[in-house]
Amino acid sequence: MTSETQGGDTIFGRILRGEIPCDAVHSDEHCLAFRDVAPQAPVHVLVIPRRPIPRLADAGEDDQALLGHLLLVAARVARQEGLEDFRLVVNSGAGAGQTVFHLHVHVLGGRPMAWPPG
Q: What is the mean pLDDT of residues 61-85?
A: 98
* pTM for the whole structure: 0.93
Task: Tell whether omega for the bond before 42 is within 30 degrees of 0, i.e. cis.
Answer: no
Instruction: Read off the pLDDT band of 7 (50, 70, 90).
Output: low
Question: For the chain, what percentages of helix, strand and coil (3-state, to nearest 5) are there?
Answer: 25, 20, 55
> Cα torsion for 114, 103, 39, 44, to the nearest 10°?
70
Instruction: Read off the pLDDT band of 1 (50, 70, 90).
Output: very low
The CATH class of 11-109 is alpha beta
Give the pLDDT score at 3: 42
Domain ranges of the chain: 11-109
Give the pLDDT score at 117: 81
Cα–Cα distance, 72 to 2 (Å, whole number): 27
Catalytic residue of the set 44, 102, 104, 106: 104
Residue 58 — φ and ψ, nearest 5°?
Answer: -90, -5
26 is catalytic: no
Residue 65 — φ and ψ, nearest 5°?
Answer: -65, -40
